[in-house]
Structure 1
Amino acid sequence: MNLRNKISISLIALSLSFTAIHANKSFKNTDPEKDKILVYVLKNILTRGHFVVKDMNDDFSEQVYTSFIEGLDPSKRYFTQKDLKEFSKFKYEIDNQLLEDDVSFYNTVYANFTKKIKNAKSYYAELLSQPFHFDKNETIDIDYDKVPFAKNENQLIDYWRKQLKLNVLSRVQNKIEKQDDKIKKDSKTKKKSFDSLEKEARAEVLKNMDELYLRIEELEHEDWFSTFLNSVVGAFDPHTTYMAPRTKERFDQDMSGKLEGIGARLSKKGIYTEIFELVSGGPAWKQGELEAGDVILEVAQGDKEPLDIVGMRLDDAIKFIKGKKGTEVRLTVKKKLDGTTRIISIIRDVVELEETFVKSTIVEKEGKKYGLINLPRFYIDFSDIDSRDSAKDMEKEIARLKSENVSGLLIDLRNNGGGSLKTAIEIAGLFITEGPVVQVKYRGQDPIVKNDENPKMQWDGAVVVLVNELSASASEIFAAAMQDYGRAVIIGGNQTYGKGTVQSVIPINNFYPKYEKDLGAIKMTIQKFYRVNGGSTQIEGVYSDIAMPNKYSYMKFGERDLTGALIWDKVPQAKYTKTNSYENFSDVINKSKNRIALDEQFKLINEYAKWLKENQEDTSYSLNFKDFSKESALLEVASKKYTNAFKNETKLNFESPKYEFPLIEKDSVLGDKRTAWHKNLAKDIYVAEALNVLKDLKLKNTTETVRN
């Protein structure tokens, strides 16, 4: 990784810290009654139903205080020590206020912060209006946990100056490198002066900041108050969150993998709502007139009067464009290609987000065919139990691969953050006969064993499960069950994420039905889950049978690094029957470990992971151009060593299963996506080694009963 990449990561993090801020222009959109109701209901739900018994005392108050202040101002750009002195009178009073449904702490901070946002716009505009002095010897540390809050406004402005200077400096460096490359290719290229490039860089940073603060100002009181509520509920554990109505709607969409609307992804460009991408197979895609880059000016529901959405916040615009299946929406659109304006009529329908769903491919290796199934999420639509879900789709996909006579299955759960516990249990059941899959435990109660009750085993052949450090929750349930039963080899990162808790999404109006407005929902930790062998996946995750080095190997990563994460513990193991599916399980694992240890590319990846860790810990940058350039050059040299770390040509050829052929003929977008996926798989060293393991496994038919 060179310095440019390192800087870009830092700047992205900086931008994200801004977008996490929920500010509003004034108090005019506040709803004090709703705020108090939310506090009243949430505190009662949490104290009675959360897995952890937690007193709302001074320690709790301090935790909420710290979380809220740091969450609002992670880059130390807004509050000074004078502000903190004002806030500190609430430090040990928040618990008492919450017990009285009092939100004085929130109101005080909110009022202060609204002013700070207005100040910030004048700060960055003024600082970016003049050239920075890059011959000055000074540094900046972007590990803001180590940086104290500014003593006063002057120091605060200096914090701003350094952060903006770093942003401009990185852009100037990139511009100089690009210019040098152009000159090497064409000596007639006109060379711009440093001052000219610096001016361009400042203009770009100013434009980005203006767009950022435009988005910040669009955020409403509901967004802002949600941040405070999440500081409160997050004091119980990191996975308990409050979801405002819009957030809950997006959560349901993610869980089900579908929505009702026109099937277009939208983005905000200044004051305009623009088509970013059409969802393949969706209503807009089928209708054929709407294209990426088109700008939506007005929205009409059927033959009603159109509504002007120019300047409207994106979430609100989406609300008018989406709608129930079978209804008509008329969009007044400015076309990207010719600039003409036209009205496009689209009949809304159910839109399935294809990238959410199970997909498979077939690869041939040494004369045998193997199936690879990618499961990006354990999805389900809780409002329609008869609709598709990950378990039903997985069963179909396995049947399709069986019909093509594959010899083994590789289940790819990398980056799968979880989802439905129900579907995780059902998917595990496809690979075993009936029996326990996971144990769940409410607070103060004995564990409950959750069983696969279907005696049918959909796949009795060889199985390898590919995971990484981002495989979490339901992914860990499935992987742990496969490991405990001896049903599959788990291969991937050293250990999975380590989220061993279960959340329930509860509509808050259920507890306060007399309030007519939508109060949103709470996603609350109500259970911990445990493997059938009794151990929790909390903190520990699932350790791979075969660990392969990757870029996360030495990073701080996973549940164990979250503040307030629940502890690891264990319960008695359940009664289950190990499949002992393989006669050469240990030999295959040892063979793979030896292969990995001797592989030069894996050695290089391991070195790269160590190098990344070192750079992660180095958070200081020089703001002197010459020193900055020297640091950049040194990192560039070092990074070249790892250029080919993940470039791997396996010579494997992946093809879609036969049932997809007619679908791809009708849908070129789907075909392009599959082609890109197959190309990436052919370069994937982790898939290649997992297939080596799958090829080496030999089945046997003995079983062994494990009793508690």
Structure 2
Amino acid sequence: MTAIWQFMKRNYKVLILVVALAAALWSFIPFKKSADPDPEKEAFLMGVLNFVLTNAHYHPADLNDAFSEKVYTNYLKVIDGNKRYLLESDIEVLNKYKPLLDDEFKEQRINFFNESYPLFQTRIQEAKTYYKEILAKPIDFTVKESIDTDYEKQPWAKNKEELKERWRKQLKLNVLSSIEDKIKLQEKDSIGKEPKKNFTELEKESRETTLKSLNEFFEFFEEISREEWLSVYINTLLEQFDPHTNYLAPDDKQKFDESMAGSMEGIGAQLRKKDQNTEITEVIPGGPAMKQGELENGDIILKVAQGDEQPVDIAGMRLEKVVKMIKGKKNTTVKLTVKKADGNVKVIAIVRDKFEIEETFAKSSIIDTPEGKFGIIHLPKFYISFENRDGRDAFKDVAKEVEYLKEQNIEGIIVDLRNNGGGSLQTVVDMVGLFIPQGPVVQVKAKSGESDVLYDRDNKTQWTGPLVVLINNYSASASEIFAAAIQDYNRGLVLGSKHSYGKGTVQNLLDLNRFGNKKIGDLGAMKFTSQKFYRVNGGSTQLKGVESDLVLPDRFLYVDTGERDNDNAMQWDKIAKAKYNVFDYNFAPVKDKSKSRVAANAQFKLIDESAKWVKSQQDDNTFPLEYNEYLAKSKQLEEQSKRFNVLKDYKNSLAFTSLPHDESLIKNDTVLQNKRKRWFKSLNNDVYVEEAVNVLKDIKSSKFKIGSSSNLVK
């Protein structure tokens, strides 16, 4: 995707929200509650947050003027990073708070927020008049001018005329992009099903499309309550302690628990906003809606009723609000009035229940090759149920998948932790124990400076054969603990990005209601950094991450990503090594073979070139707004990137099949069947999995065997 399209997506195109009706709806702001301020509750909340952070955070920030300035700057960046709303005069009014926010936090005051909030709301309303006026008449694309999309370097607009001019240029770029898209669609219509439209018609149509998108965006913007904006401010403040210290408003606490458990209460369906309607896009396998049997993909929800109450018309309602209405406690009933594809209207009563989101959990596949059978286990996160000890967790599920694979006589396992952001600390400790006899897995240091060692104390090793761990830049936290332990024990090889994410900290989740009372109301929760973890070799994964034994080129190879890209990240350090036994296997010949193979691989060469091209485009932020010049630059970028299009067409020669236990689950479930087919298709397009299999073959052919370990690290 070119820099132009990245810009367009980032700023104007309204994304279709696809949300599970009872899913963990992660968002930057919580669901709307009340617009009325509650000064007593807000002051109490700020006091609790300050108390906890001062006394329990691993490395509390110094609450001084420098801290205050960071909070001030970052909050303005969060609410108006593109500088499309606030004026220079507004900033001059607010600047008095720049050195005072640390004092406000200590004294449980939010005067800065209370003054900035109504000011920002006023500017939002003014911005609506700008874009509506600009898009009301044809745009002249013959004028030679350009736009700089590096907003951070731009000063605040001096007055409304200058701000309106910025809107004009941004909207012009948006409409230009839309016109080009429509022209390309016309050119693809070789059969001529639709009559060709001239430039004037396309320009008008593009303005109307842009207007509609912005109207929808501002409609969402205006529904964000004062309470929601306050959560944004609080999080800006807390994130100055470190990037992983956050405030969770009451609804967000529930979403966090559901996300970690991979299960939730509701009807079990996904929906999206389609114009002013709410459409069912998927009925989740095993959920209440599928068991009830009447709700189908494509159904349009017209009304929602709670039990025997009167139904509420949801036409034009915000998607998150619809989700809130349909989601509910187990054993309660919701009645949906839906319009079927054939036009019939039907009322469907569904009893809510607890159900699982299949994508959360570990899954595995057999990989058939001429040299033998191998297995891959995909783990999206280290999930666990905090409320149900008998609930599913990553350790127990991965242990089952390993057993299933062993029953199929596989000769090597790939543990795929790409994009796995972490999860439960104890779960990853237990999971490492599946691959080593016993010993320390990770070291944890508290604020006091004291360190503890977390052990695998089970002498049993479930898998003793060849092992490869796949990581990328977004493998974080618990994923890094697992990869580091396998690497430090020399138990297997880590393949993938140059390094993993680099999050070497541990967070505690604290229910803030423990500090309050029912009169104050629900305070939500906070997630704060309480410890740092260290590899058994003594080094931290913080900032540096885990460096792959075998680096495979990816599109972020030359771009800084991960924890090191965060301004407030904690620094790397190390502590004393733990005592552990290192397996005496020599992986050097296997590494040499892989490096030679990767160097000669045309796909990896092209990925490397693509990564360099992405890096070269980072600083190109200026785009012409004259029609012919815009098309010329767009065509140039398209030509430059065209040679990378073949990357998505890559196909390896591996054969992926489900395990017998999985086959029995998906036999009568077409939704799950299709999900497995999509997964297998993605694996067939995956050059990284292909190389991981090649490495397993090399380990196997070298007669790999875990014998007695040696070389005790003192």
TM-score by length of 2: 0.94
Aligned residue in 2 for 1:119: 126
Three-state SS of the structure 2 residue aligned to 1:695 is helix
CA contact 2:306–2:335 (8 Å) conserved in 1: yes
CA contact 1:17–1:75 (8 Å) conserved in 2: no
Three-state SS of the structure 2 residue aligned to 1:644 is helix
For residues 307-333 of structure 1, the C-alpha deviation after alignment (integer angstroms, 9 at most, x for no partner) is 4444544334323322232332222x2
Q: Structure 2: how far apart are the matches of 1:187 and 1:473?
A: 54
Instruction: Say yes or no: does 1:389 pair with 2:412.
Output: no
Instruction: Say yes or no: does 1:129 pair with 2:129.
Output: no
For residues 380-400 of structure 1, the C-alpha deviation after alignment (integer angstroms, 9 at most, x for no partner) is 111111111111100111111
Aligned residue in 1 for 2:58: 51
CA contact 1:17–1:74 (8 Å) conserved in 2: no
Instruction: Say yes or no: does 1:534 pair with 2:541.
Output: no
Instruction: Say yes or no: does 1:411 pair with 2:418.
Output: no
Q: Structure 2: how far apart are the matches of 1:611 and 1:141?
A: 20
CA contact 1:500–1:539 (8 Å) conserved in 2: yes
CA contact 1:23–1:221 (8 Å) conserved in 2: no
Q: Structure 2: how far apart are the matches of 1:660 and 1:25?
A: 41
Aligned residue in 2 for 1:472: 476
1:663: Cα distance to partner?
Answer: 1.4
Q: Which residue among 68, 73, 83 is the counterpart of 1:66?
A: 73
For residues 215-264 of structure 1, the C-alpha deviation after alignment (integer angstroms, 9 at most, x for no partner) is 11222222111001011101101111111111222211111111011001
CA contact 1:137–1:624 (8 Å) conserved in 2: yes
Aligned residue in 2 for 1:347: 351
Name stretches of at least 5 consecutive residues in structure 1 with no aligned partner: none
CA contact 2:34–2:227 (8 Å) conserved in 1: no
Q: Structure 2: how far apart are the matches of 1:706 and 1:198?
A: 72
Instruction: Say yes or no: does 1:703 pair with 2:699.
Output: no
Q: Which moved more, 1:241-250 or 1:462-471?
A: 241-250
**Residues 269/36 of structure 1: CA separation in 2 closer, same or farther (3 Å cut):** farther
1:98: Cα distance to partner?
Answer: 1.9
Instruction: Say yes or no: does 1:561 pair with 2:565.
Output: yes
Q: Structure 2: how far apart are the matches of 1:149 and 1:116?
A: 13
Q: Structure 2: how far apart are the matches of 1:25 and 1:115?
A: 19
Matches within 5 A, 1:243-254: 243-254=248-259
Q: Structure 1: how far apart are the matches of 2:83 and 2:474?
A: 29
1:366: Cα distance to partner?
Answer: 2.3
Q: Structure 1: how far apart are the matches of 2:188 and 2:305?
A: 50
Q: Report the AA paired with residue 709 of structure 2.
A: T
Q: Which moved more, 1:272-281 or 1:446-455?
A: 272-281
Q: Which residue among 11, 14, 28 is the counterpart of 1:14?
A: 11
For residues 250-309 of structure 1, the C-alpha deviation after alignment (integer angstroms, 9 at most, x for no partner) is 211111111011001233445544323221221101212112332333333333444444
For residues 374-424 of structure 1, the C-alpha deviation after alignment (integer angstroms, 9 at most, x for no partner) is 001111111111111111100111111111111110111111111111111
CA contact 1:21–1:224 (8 Å) conserved in 2: no
Aligned residue in 2 for 1:487: 491
Q: Report the AA paired with residue 637 of structure 1.
A: E
Q: Report the AA paired with residue 645 of structure 1.
A: L
Aligned residue in 2 for 1:206: 211
CA contact 1:363–1:371 (8 Å) conserved in 2: yes
CA contact 2:61–2:240 (8 Å) conserved in 1: no
Aligned residue in 2 for 1:289: 294
Q: Which moved more, 1:625-634 or 1:189-198?
A: 189-198
Q: Structure 2: how far apart are the matches of 1:26 and 1:260?
A: 21
Instruction: Say yes or no: does 1:151 pair with 2:164.
Output: no
Q: Structure 2: how far apart are the matches of 1:652 and 1:389?
A: 30
Q: Structure 1: how far apart are the matches of 2:48 and 2:130?
A: 40
Matches within 5 A, 1:31-430: 31-182=38-189, 185-186=190-191, 190-269=195-274, 272-331=277-336, 333-430=337-434
CA contact 1:23–1:220 (8 Å) conserved in 2: no
For residues 134-182 of structure 1, the C-alpha deviation after alignment (integer angstroms, 9 at most, x for no partner) is 1111111212111211111111111111111111111111112222232
Q: Which moved more, 1:224-233 or 1:660-669?
A: 660-669
1:365: Cα distance to partner?
Answer: 1.7
CA contact 1:21–1:72 (8 Å) conserved in 2: no
For residues 38-94 of structure 1, the C-alpha deviation after alignment (integer angstroms, 9 at most, x for no partner) is 111111111111111322111111111111111100111011111000000111111
Q: Structure 2: how far apart are the matches of 1:179 and 1:247?
A: 45
Q: Structure 2: how far apart are the matches of 1:527 and 1:236?
A: 13
Q: Report the AA paired with residue 538 of structure 1.
A: Q
1:15: Cα distance to partner?
Answer: 4.4
**Residues 23/87 of structure 1: CA separation in 2 closer, same or farther (3 Å cut):** farther
Give the count of matched residue pairs.
700
Q: Which residue among 619, 622, 627 is the counterpart of 1:620?
A: 622
Q: Which moved more, 1:361-370 or 1:84-93?
A: 361-370
**Residues 275/181 of structure 1: CA separation in 2 closer, same or farther (3 Å cut):** closer
Aligned residue in 2 for 1:588: 590
Q: Structure 1: how far apart are the matches of 2:277 and 2:559?
A: 40
Runs of 4+ in 1 over 4 A off after TM superposition: 15-28, 269-272, 307-312
Three-state SS of the structure 2 residue aligned to 1:595 is helix
Q: Structure 2: how far apart are the matches of 1:230 and 1:114?
A: 19
Three-state SS of the structure 1 residue aligned to 2:129 is helix
1:334: Cα distance to partner?
Answer: 2.7
**Residues 115/17 of structure 1: CA separation in 2 closer, same or farther (3 Å cut):** farther
Identity of aligned residues (%): 47
Q: Structure 2: how far apart are the matches of 1:70 and 1:265?
A: 33
1:628: Cα distance to partner?
Answer: 0.8
Three-state SS of the structure 1 residue aligned to 2:414 is strand
CA contact 1:356–1:376 (8 Å) conserved in 2: yes
Instruction: Say yes or no: does 1:610 pair with 2:607.
Output: no
Q: Which moved more, 1:634-643 or 1:288-297?
A: 288-297
CA contact 2:550–2:595 (8 Å) conserved in 1: yes
**Residues 466/172 of structure 1: CA separation in 2 closer, same or farther (3 Å cut):** same
Q: Which moved more, 1:244-253 or 1:528-537?
A: 244-253
**Residues 134/23 of structure 1: CA separation in 2 closer, same or farther (3 Å cut):** farther
Instruction: Say yes or no: does 1:436 pair with 2:453.
Output: no
Name stretches of at least 5 consecutive residues in structure 2 with no aligned partner: 18-26
Q: Which moved more, 1:233-242 or 1:245-254?
A: 245-254
Q: Which moved more, 1:691-700 or 1:333-342?
A: 333-342
**Residues 405/88 of structure 1: CA separation in 2 closer, same or farther (3 Å cut):** same
CA contact 1:277–1:292 (8 Å) conserved in 2: yes
Q: Structure 2: how far apart are the matches of 1:36 and 1:268?
A: 37
Q: Structure 1: how far apart are the matches of 2:285 and 2:192?
A: 45
